[in-house]
Chain A
Amino acid sequence: MIELDDVLVTAFSPDPAGDADRVVRLLGPVTLRLTERRIAVIGANGSGKSTLARLLNGLVLPASGTVRVDGLDTAVDGRAVRRRVGFVFTNPDAQIVMPTPLEDVALSLRRLPLTADERDAAARAALARFGLEDRAEVPAHVLSGGQRQLLALASVLAVEPAILVCDEPTTLLDLRWRTVVDDLLDGLDQQVVVVTHDLDAAARADRVLVVDRGRVVHDGEPGAAIAHYRALMSSLRA
Protein backbone atom coordinates (compact mmCIF):
# COMPACT_ATOMS: atom_id res chain seq x y z
CA MET A 1 0.00 0.00 0.00
CA ILE A 2 1.20 3.52 -0.81
CA GLU A 3 0.42 6.36 1.57
CA LEU A 4 1.07 10.04 0.98
CA ASP A 5 0.51 12.19 4.03
CA ASP A 6 0.31 15.95 3.50
CA VAL A 7 3.11 15.80 0.91
CA LEU A 8 4.56 18.98 -0.52
CA VAL A 9 7.24 19.08 -3.24
CA THR A 10 9.09 22.30 -3.93
CA ALA A 11 11.92 23.33 -6.24
CA PHE A 12 14.18 26.26 -6.89
CA SER A 13 13.24 28.27 -9.95
CA PRO A 14 15.15 31.17 -11.58
CA ASP A 15 13.68 34.52 -10.58
CA PRO A 16 12.69 36.53 -13.69
CA ALA A 17 13.89 39.66 -11.85
CA GLY A 18 17.39 38.14 -11.83
CA ASP A 19 17.71 37.95 -8.06
CA ALA A 20 18.32 34.75 -6.12
CA ASP A 21 16.32 31.67 -7.15
CA ARG A 22 12.86 31.49 -5.63
CA VAL A 23 11.19 28.41 -4.23
CA VAL A 24 8.11 27.24 -6.14
CA ARG A 25 5.56 24.57 -5.29
CA LEU A 26 5.57 21.68 -7.76
CA LEU A 27 3.05 19.46 -6.03
CA GLY A 28 0.87 19.39 -2.97
CA PRO A 29 -0.27 19.33 -0.40
CA VAL A 30 -1.38 15.79 -1.29
CA THR A 31 -2.81 13.15 1.01
CA LEU A 32 -3.64 9.78 -0.56
CA ARG A 33 -3.92 6.10 0.24
CA LEU A 34 -3.37 4.02 -2.88
CA THR A 35 -4.62 0.48 -2.42
CA GLU A 36 -6.26 -0.35 -5.76
CA ARG A 37 -4.52 -2.70 -8.20
CA ARG A 38 -4.74 -0.34 -11.19
CA ILE A 39 -4.40 3.39 -10.68
CA ALA A 40 -4.11 5.95 -13.48
CA VAL A 41 -2.84 9.50 -13.12
CA ILE A 42 -3.97 11.97 -15.79
CA GLY A 43 -3.46 15.69 -16.26
CA ALA A 44 -2.02 18.35 -18.52
CA ASN A 45 1.70 18.62 -19.35
CA GLY A 46 3.55 20.21 -16.45
CA SER A 47 0.69 19.59 -14.01
CA GLY A 48 2.78 17.54 -11.58
CA LYS A 49 1.92 13.98 -12.66
CA SER A 50 5.53 12.87 -13.09
CA THR A 51 6.51 14.47 -9.79
CA LEU A 52 3.73 12.49 -8.11
CA ALA A 53 4.95 9.29 -9.79
CA ARG A 54 8.57 9.92 -8.81
CA LEU A 55 7.57 10.40 -5.19
CA LEU A 56 6.37 6.81 -5.09
CA ASN A 57 9.80 5.19 -5.35
CA GLY A 58 11.85 7.93 -3.75
CA LEU A 59 13.25 9.48 -6.92
CA VAL A 60 11.77 12.73 -5.62
CA LEU A 61 11.61 13.40 -1.90
CA PRO A 62 8.97 15.61 -0.32
CA ALA A 63 9.94 18.96 1.18
CA SER A 64 7.39 18.19 3.89
CA GLY A 65 5.03 15.35 4.67
CA THR A 66 5.78 11.65 4.21
CA VAL A 67 5.48 9.02 1.49
CA ARG A 68 5.27 5.43 2.75
CA VAL A 69 5.31 2.23 0.73
CA ASP A 70 4.21 -0.79 2.73
CA GLY A 71 5.19 1.18 5.82
CA LEU A 72 8.64 2.18 4.51
CA ASP A 73 9.37 5.91 4.41
CA THR A 74 10.90 6.88 1.03
CA ALA A 75 13.04 9.54 2.71
CA VAL A 76 14.50 7.08 5.23
CA ASP A 77 14.41 3.68 3.51
CA GLY A 78 14.93 4.76 -0.10
CA ARG A 79 16.88 1.65 -1.11
CA ALA A 80 14.34 -0.71 0.37
CA VAL A 81 11.52 1.24 -1.28
CA ARG A 82 13.17 1.02 -4.69
CA ARG A 83 13.45 -2.74 -4.30
CA ARG A 84 9.68 -2.85 -3.83
CA VAL A 85 8.71 -0.26 -6.42
CA GLY A 86 9.82 -0.65 -10.04
CA PHE A 87 9.76 2.43 -12.26
CA VAL A 88 9.39 2.64 -16.04
CA PHE A 89 10.15 5.91 -17.83
CA THR A 90 8.67 7.43 -20.97
CA ASN A 91 11.86 7.11 -22.96
CA PRO A 92 13.39 3.63 -22.71
CA ASP A 93 16.72 4.85 -24.10
CA ALA A 94 17.55 6.48 -20.79
CA GLN A 95 16.69 3.29 -18.97
CA ILE A 96 18.60 0.76 -21.06
CA VAL A 97 22.14 0.94 -19.79
CA MET A 98 23.81 -2.17 -21.23
CA PRO A 99 24.71 -2.89 -24.87
CA THR A 100 22.33 -5.84 -25.39
CA PRO A 101 18.90 -6.81 -23.98
CA LEU A 102 20.28 -9.89 -22.23
CA GLU A 103 22.97 -7.87 -20.50
CA ASP A 104 20.54 -5.15 -19.49
CA VAL A 105 18.15 -7.57 -17.80
CA ALA A 106 21.12 -9.35 -16.22
CA LEU A 107 22.25 -6.02 -14.78
CA SER A 108 18.95 -5.69 -12.88
CA LEU A 109 19.39 -9.23 -11.57
CA ARG A 110 22.82 -8.45 -10.09
CA ARG A 111 20.92 -7.25 -7.01
CA LEU A 112 19.81 -10.81 -6.36
CA PRO A 113 22.02 -13.57 -4.91
CA LEU A 114 22.34 -15.57 -8.14
CA THR A 115 25.26 -17.28 -9.85
CA ALA A 116 26.23 -16.09 -13.33
CA ASP A 117 24.48 -19.08 -14.94
CA GLU A 118 21.32 -18.58 -12.88
CA ARG A 119 21.35 -14.88 -13.76
CA ASP A 120 21.71 -15.69 -17.45
CA ALA A 121 18.81 -18.15 -17.32
CA ALA A 122 16.60 -15.72 -15.38
CA ALA A 123 17.40 -12.91 -17.83
CA ARG A 124 16.51 -15.12 -20.81
CA ALA A 125 13.27 -16.14 -19.09
CA ALA A 126 12.38 -12.49 -18.46
CA LEU A 127 13.02 -11.64 -22.12
CA ALA A 128 10.96 -14.64 -23.26
CA ARG A 129 8.06 -13.43 -21.12
CA PHE A 130 8.05 -10.22 -23.18
CA GLY A 131 8.58 -11.91 -26.55
CA LEU A 132 12.17 -10.69 -26.85
CA GLU A 133 13.97 -14.03 -26.62
CA ASP A 134 15.17 -13.85 -30.23
CA ARG A 135 16.47 -10.29 -29.68
CA ALA A 136 18.44 -11.20 -26.55
CA GLU A 137 21.88 -10.60 -28.02
CA VAL A 138 21.32 -7.95 -30.66
CA PRO A 139 22.51 -4.40 -29.92
CA ALA A 140 19.83 -2.64 -27.85
CA HIS A 141 20.04 0.47 -30.01
CA VAL A 142 18.77 -1.37 -33.11
CA LEU A 143 15.52 -2.49 -31.42
CA SER A 144 12.33 -0.66 -32.41
CA GLY A 145 10.85 1.86 -29.97
CA GLY A 146 8.21 -0.65 -28.89
CA GLN A 147 10.76 -3.40 -28.34
CA ARG A 148 12.93 -1.03 -26.32
CA GLN A 149 9.98 -0.17 -24.08
CA LEU A 150 9.30 -3.90 -23.63
CA LEU A 151 12.97 -4.36 -22.73
CA ALA A 152 12.74 -1.55 -20.18
CA LEU A 153 9.70 -3.30 -18.67
CA ALA A 154 11.47 -6.68 -18.72
CA SER A 155 14.51 -5.20 -16.94
CA VAL A 156 12.36 -3.67 -14.22
CA LEU A 157 10.01 -6.64 -13.76
CA ALA A 158 12.81 -9.22 -13.78
CA VAL A 159 13.39 -8.53 -10.07
CA GLU A 160 9.65 -8.93 -9.29
CA PRO A 161 8.85 -5.60 -7.62
CA ALA A 162 5.63 -5.54 -5.61
CA ILE A 163 4.52 -2.27 -7.22
CA LEU A 164 5.16 -0.87 -10.70
CA VAL A 165 5.04 2.86 -11.44
CA CYS A 166 5.05 3.88 -15.12
CA ASP A 167 5.55 7.45 -16.26
CA GLU A 168 3.82 7.73 -19.64
CA PRO A 169 5.11 4.35 -20.86
CA THR A 170 3.20 4.48 -24.17
CA THR A 171 3.57 8.15 -25.14
CA LEU A 172 6.33 7.46 -27.70
CA LEU A 173 4.71 4.31 -29.12
CA ASP A 174 2.52 3.66 -32.13
CA LEU A 175 -0.93 2.11 -31.75
CA ARG A 176 0.31 -1.48 -32.11
CA TRP A 177 3.02 -1.20 -29.46
CA ARG A 178 0.76 0.88 -27.23
CA THR A 179 -1.74 -1.98 -27.26
CA VAL A 180 1.01 -4.52 -26.55
CA VAL A 181 2.35 -2.54 -23.58
CA ASP A 182 -1.15 -1.76 -22.24
CA ASP A 183 -2.11 -5.44 -22.42
CA LEU A 184 1.09 -6.40 -20.62
CA LEU A 185 0.48 -3.88 -17.86
CA ASP A 186 -3.14 -5.01 -17.53
CA GLY A 187 -2.00 -8.61 -17.09
CA LEU A 188 0.54 -7.98 -14.31
CA ASP A 189 0.00 -9.31 -10.80
CA GLN A 190 1.64 -6.22 -9.30
CA GLN A 191 -0.11 -3.06 -8.19
CA VAL A 192 0.39 -0.66 -11.13
CA VAL A 193 0.32 3.13 -11.05
CA VAL A 194 0.38 4.60 -14.57
CA VAL A 195 0.82 8.23 -15.52
CA THR A 196 -0.79 8.53 -18.93
CA HIS A 197 -2.32 10.74 -21.59
CA ASP A 198 -4.12 7.71 -23.02
CA LEU A 199 -7.67 8.08 -21.76
CA ASP A 200 -8.63 4.60 -23.04
CA ALA A 201 -5.96 3.13 -20.76
CA ALA A 202 -7.10 5.36 -17.89
CA ALA A 203 -10.69 4.17 -18.40
CA ARG A 204 -9.60 0.59 -17.59
CA ALA A 205 -8.09 1.58 -14.22
CA ASP A 206 -9.80 0.96 -10.88
CA ARG A 207 -9.14 4.52 -9.78
CA VAL A 208 -8.07 7.68 -11.59
CA LEU A 209 -6.35 10.74 -10.13
CA VAL A 210 -6.61 14.02 -12.03
CA VAL A 211 -3.69 16.37 -11.37
CA ASP A 212 -3.83 20.04 -12.20
CA ARG A 213 -1.31 22.75 -11.30
CA GLY A 214 0.31 20.62 -8.63
CA ARG A 215 -2.87 19.42 -6.93
CA VAL A 216 -4.99 16.31 -7.14
CA VAL A 217 -8.23 17.95 -8.22
CA HIS A 218 -10.26 14.79 -8.75
CA ASP A 219 -9.93 11.30 -7.35
CA GLY A 220 -12.38 8.55 -8.15
CA GLU A 221 -13.72 6.04 -10.62
CA PRO A 222 -12.59 6.45 -14.26
CA GLY A 223 -15.81 7.74 -15.85
CA ALA A 224 -16.21 10.77 -13.62
CA ALA A 225 -12.45 11.45 -13.48
CA ILE A 226 -12.05 11.47 -17.25
CA ALA A 227 -15.12 13.72 -17.62
CA HIS A 228 -13.57 16.09 -15.07
CA TYR A 229 -10.29 16.10 -17.00
CA ARG A 230 -12.05 16.79 -20.31
CA ALA A 231 -13.94 19.69 -18.74
CA LEU A 232 -10.66 21.00 -17.32
CA MET A 233 -8.98 20.92 -20.73
CA SER A 234 -11.99 22.57 -22.37
CA SER A 235 -11.90 25.38 -19.83
CA LEU A 236 -8.22 25.99 -20.70
CA ARG A 237 -9.10 26.35 -24.40
CA ALA A 238 -11.98 28.74 -23.74
Chain B
Amino acid sequence: MSTPLRQPWAGPLGLYHPGTSVLHRCPPGAKLAGLAVAGIAVSLARGPVSALVALAVAVLAQLVSRVPWHRTTRGLLGTLVAVSLVGLYQWWLRGWAVGLEVVLDIVALVLLATIVTATTRADALLEVLARLARPLRHVGLSPETFALACGLFLRIIPVLVQTSLEARDAARARGLERSPRAVLIPSAVRMVAHARATGDALAARGLGED
Protein backbone atom coordinates (compact mmCIF):
# COMPACT_ATOMS: atom_id res chain seq x y z
CA MET B 1 0.00 0.00 0.00
CA SER B 2 1.39 3.42 -0.88
CA THR B 3 1.01 6.67 1.02
CA PRO B 4 -1.47 9.31 -0.25
CA LEU B 5 -0.19 11.48 -3.08
CA ARG B 6 1.20 14.87 -2.16
CA GLN B 7 0.76 18.13 -4.02
CA PRO B 8 3.90 18.97 -6.02
CA TRP B 9 6.55 20.64 -3.89
CA ALA B 10 6.46 24.36 -4.41
CA GLY B 11 9.96 25.15 -3.21
CA PRO B 12 10.96 26.87 0.00
CA LEU B 13 9.94 30.34 -1.10
CA GLY B 14 7.00 31.93 -2.78
CA LEU B 15 3.86 30.73 -1.07
CA TYR B 16 1.90 33.26 0.91
CA HIS B 17 0.10 31.82 3.91
CA PRO B 18 -2.84 34.03 4.94
CA GLY B 19 -2.83 35.07 8.60
CA THR B 20 -3.12 37.87 11.11
CA SER B 21 0.12 37.46 13.09
CA VAL B 22 2.41 40.36 13.99
CA LEU B 23 4.65 39.40 11.09
CA HIS B 24 1.72 39.38 8.66
CA ARG B 25 0.83 42.92 9.77
CA CYS B 26 4.45 44.14 9.73
CA PRO B 27 5.24 46.41 6.71
CA PRO B 28 6.91 44.43 3.89
CA GLY B 29 9.77 46.93 3.73
CA ALA B 30 10.58 46.34 7.39
CA LYS B 31 10.59 42.58 6.87
CA LEU B 32 12.91 42.85 3.87
CA ALA B 33 15.19 45.20 5.82
CA GLY B 34 15.19 42.74 8.73
CA LEU B 35 16.12 39.94 6.38
CA ALA B 36 18.95 42.01 4.93
CA VAL B 37 20.24 42.86 8.43
CA ALA B 38 20.06 39.18 9.40
CA GLY B 39 22.04 38.26 6.28
CA ILE B 40 24.77 40.78 7.10
CA ALA B 41 24.89 39.80 10.78
CA VAL B 42 25.15 36.10 9.95
CA SER B 43 27.97 36.82 7.49
CA LEU B 44 29.92 38.92 9.99
CA ALA B 45 29.42 36.84 13.16
CA ARG B 46 31.82 33.93 13.54
CA GLY B 47 31.44 30.61 15.34
CA PRO B 48 28.73 28.01 15.89
CA VAL B 49 27.27 29.85 18.90
CA SER B 50 26.30 32.90 16.81
CA ALA B 51 24.92 30.55 14.16
CA LEU B 52 22.82 28.84 16.82
CA VAL B 53 21.51 32.24 17.90
CA ALA B 54 20.59 33.01 14.26
CA LEU B 55 18.71 29.72 14.00
CA ALA B 56 16.94 30.41 17.29
CA VAL B 57 15.83 33.82 15.95
CA ALA B 58 14.54 32.16 12.78
CA VAL B 59 12.63 29.53 14.78
CA LEU B 60 11.20 32.28 16.99
CA ALA B 61 10.07 34.17 13.87
CA GLN B 62 8.43 31.00 12.62
CA LEU B 63 6.54 30.60 15.91
CA VAL B 64 5.45 34.25 15.89
CA SER B 65 4.27 34.02 12.26
CA ARG B 66 2.00 31.06 13.12
CA VAL B 67 2.71 29.62 9.66
CA PRO B 68 2.23 25.84 10.00
CA TRP B 69 5.53 24.00 10.46
CA HIS B 70 4.82 21.58 7.63
CA ARG B 71 4.68 24.52 5.19
CA THR B 72 8.24 25.51 6.01
CA THR B 73 9.90 22.23 6.99
CA ARG B 74 8.79 20.48 3.80
CA GLY B 75 10.26 23.32 1.80
CA LEU B 76 13.48 23.24 3.81
CA LEU B 77 14.21 19.55 3.20
CA GLY B 78 15.85 20.11 -0.18
CA THR B 79 17.90 22.95 1.26
CA LEU B 80 18.98 20.76 4.18
CA VAL B 81 20.30 18.06 1.86
CA ALA B 82 22.34 20.55 -0.19
CA VAL B 83 23.58 22.45 2.88
CA SER B 84 24.58 19.23 4.66
CA LEU B 85 26.87 18.37 1.76
CA VAL B 86 28.42 21.85 1.91
CA GLY B 87 28.75 21.50 5.71
CA LEU B 88 30.50 18.14 5.44
CA TYR B 89 32.92 19.58 2.93
CA GLN B 90 33.67 22.55 5.24
CA TRP B 91 34.10 20.18 8.20
CA TRP B 92 36.66 18.17 6.23
CA LEU B 93 38.39 21.34 5.01
CA ARG B 94 38.24 23.67 8.05
CA GLY B 95 36.95 21.69 11.01
CA TRP B 96 33.63 20.82 12.63
CA ALA B 97 32.94 24.30 14.02
CA VAL B 98 33.02 25.93 10.59
CA GLY B 99 30.99 23.09 9.06
CA LEU B 100 28.29 23.43 11.71
CA GLU B 101 28.31 27.23 11.43
CA VAL B 102 27.79 27.12 7.65
CA VAL B 103 24.88 24.68 7.94
CA LEU B 104 23.13 26.61 10.72
CA ASP B 105 23.69 30.01 9.06
CA ILE B 106 22.20 28.95 5.73
CA VAL B 107 19.24 27.10 7.28
CA ALA B 108 18.50 30.12 9.48
CA LEU B 109 18.55 32.52 6.52
CA VAL B 110 16.43 30.27 4.27
CA LEU B 111 13.92 29.85 7.09
CA LEU B 112 13.78 33.62 7.62
CA ALA B 113 13.34 34.21 3.87
CA THR B 114 10.58 31.59 3.81
CA ILE B 115 8.81 33.36 6.65
CA VAL B 116 9.07 36.71 4.86
CA THR B 117 7.44 35.32 1.70
CA ALA B 118 4.90 33.28 3.71
CA THR B 119 3.72 36.38 5.58
CA THR B 120 3.86 38.89 2.71
CA ARG B 121 1.72 38.97 -0.41
CA ALA B 122 3.72 39.01 -3.65
CA ASP B 123 1.87 42.20 -4.60
CA ALA B 124 3.15 43.97 -1.47
CA LEU B 125 6.68 42.66 -2.09
CA LEU B 126 6.56 43.96 -5.66
CA GLU B 127 5.49 47.34 -4.34
CA VAL B 128 8.54 47.56 -2.05
CA LEU B 129 10.94 46.18 -4.64
CA ALA B 130 9.68 48.67 -7.24
CA ARG B 131 10.23 51.48 -4.72
CA LEU B 132 13.72 50.26 -3.84
CA ALA B 133 14.59 49.94 -7.52
CA ARG B 134 13.68 53.54 -8.39
CA PRO B 135 17.35 54.57 -8.75
CA LEU B 136 17.60 52.05 -11.60
CA ARG B 137 15.68 54.57 -13.72
CA HIS B 138 18.93 56.52 -13.99
CA VAL B 139 20.53 53.64 -15.89
CA GLY B 140 17.49 53.11 -18.10
CA LEU B 141 15.89 50.20 -16.20
CA SER B 142 12.25 50.25 -15.20
CA PRO B 143 11.71 49.65 -11.45
CA GLU B 144 8.38 47.92 -12.24
CA THR B 145 10.13 45.54 -14.61
CA PHE B 146 12.79 44.80 -11.99
CA ALA B 147 10.11 44.08 -9.39
CA LEU B 148 8.19 41.94 -11.86
CA ALA B 149 11.31 39.88 -12.58
CA CYS B 150 11.70 39.21 -8.83
CA GLY B 151 8.02 38.22 -8.63
CA LEU B 152 8.42 35.84 -11.55
CA PHE B 153 11.26 34.13 -9.72
CA LEU B 154 8.82 33.18 -6.95
CA ARG B 155 6.38 31.66 -9.45
CA ILE B 156 9.04 29.85 -11.47
CA ILE B 157 10.05 27.51 -8.62
CA PRO B 158 6.83 25.41 -8.59
CA VAL B 159 6.77 25.45 -12.40
CA LEU B 160 10.35 24.15 -12.49
CA VAL B 161 9.50 21.43 -9.99
CA GLN B 162 6.35 20.44 -11.89
CA THR B 163 8.21 20.35 -15.21
CA SER B 164 10.99 18.18 -13.77
CA LEU B 165 8.47 15.77 -12.22
CA GLU B 166 6.60 15.45 -15.52
CA ALA B 167 9.86 14.88 -17.42
CA ARG B 168 10.84 12.22 -14.85
CA ASP B 169 7.45 10.49 -15.24
CA ALA B 170 7.76 10.60 -19.04
CA ALA B 171 11.25 9.06 -18.79
CA ARG B 172 9.90 6.33 -16.47
CA ALA B 173 7.05 5.60 -18.87
CA ARG B 174 9.64 4.98 -21.59
CA GLY B 175 11.78 2.81 -19.28
CA LEU B 176 14.50 5.48 -19.14
CA GLU B 177 14.34 6.20 -15.41
CA ARG B 178 18.10 5.64 -15.05
CA SER B 179 18.98 8.14 -17.77
CA PRO B 180 19.63 11.65 -16.39
CA ARG B 181 19.66 12.90 -19.98
CA ALA B 182 16.07 11.74 -20.50
CA VAL B 183 15.00 13.99 -17.61
CA LEU B 184 17.36 16.96 -17.89
CA ILE B 185 17.09 17.67 -21.61
CA PRO B 186 13.26 17.69 -21.84
CA SER B 187 13.10 19.69 -18.60
CA ALA B 188 15.48 22.31 -20.01
CA VAL B 189 13.67 22.45 -23.36
CA ARG B 190 10.28 22.80 -21.67
CA MET B 191 11.54 25.50 -19.30
CA VAL B 192 12.86 27.51 -22.24
CA ALA B 193 9.48 27.07 -23.98
CA HIS B 194 7.74 28.09 -20.76
CA ALA B 195 9.94 31.18 -20.44
CA ARG B 196 9.07 32.21 -24.01
CA ALA B 197 5.36 31.58 -23.44
CA THR B 198 5.50 33.59 -20.20
CA GLY B 199 7.20 36.43 -22.05
CA ASP B 200 4.38 36.39 -24.61
CA ALA B 201 1.78 36.30 -21.86
CA LEU B 202 3.37 39.26 -20.05
CA ALA B 203 3.50 41.21 -23.29
CA ALA B 204 -0.14 40.33 -24.01
CA ARG B 205 -1.11 41.65 -20.57
CA GLY B 206 0.88 44.80 -21.17
CA LEU B 207 3.13 44.05 -18.17
CA GLY B 208 6.77 45.06 -18.05
CA GLU B 209 6.30 47.63 -20.80
CA ASP B 210 6.65 50.72 -18.61
Contact = CB atoms under 8 A, between A and B. Distances in A.
B197 A103 contact: no
B87 to A, nearest CB: 30
A57 B16 contact: no
A200 interface: no
B126 A99 contact: no
Interface stretch (B60-68, B168-176, B181-189, B200-208): B200-208
Contact of B152 (A97, A110, A116, A120): A97
Contact of A99 (B16, B162, B207): B16
A89 interface: yes
Grouping DSSP codes into helix (H, G, I), strand (E, B) and loop, the A interface class, with mixed when no group exceeds half, is: helix
Contacts of A137: 16, 18
A79 B194 contact: no
Contact of B123 (A86, A103, A140): A103
A86 B148 CA distance: 19
Interface in B87-142: 121-124, 126-127
Contacts of A99: 10, 14-16, 122, 154-155, 158
A116 B203 contact: no
Interface in A94-120: 94-100, 102-103, 106-108, 110-111, 116, 119-120
Interface in A128-144: 137, 139-142
Given A100-B122, A116-B124, A137-B16, A95 B201 contact: yes
A139 B15 contact: yes
A94 B198 contact: yes
Given A103-B121, A110-B144, A139-B7, 18 more contacts: A82-B206, A96-B155, A97-B151, A98-B154, A98-B155, A99-B14, A99-B158, A100-B121, A102-B121, A102-B123, A107-B126, A107-B148, A107-B151, A107-B207, A137-B16, A141-B8, A142-B7, A142-B8
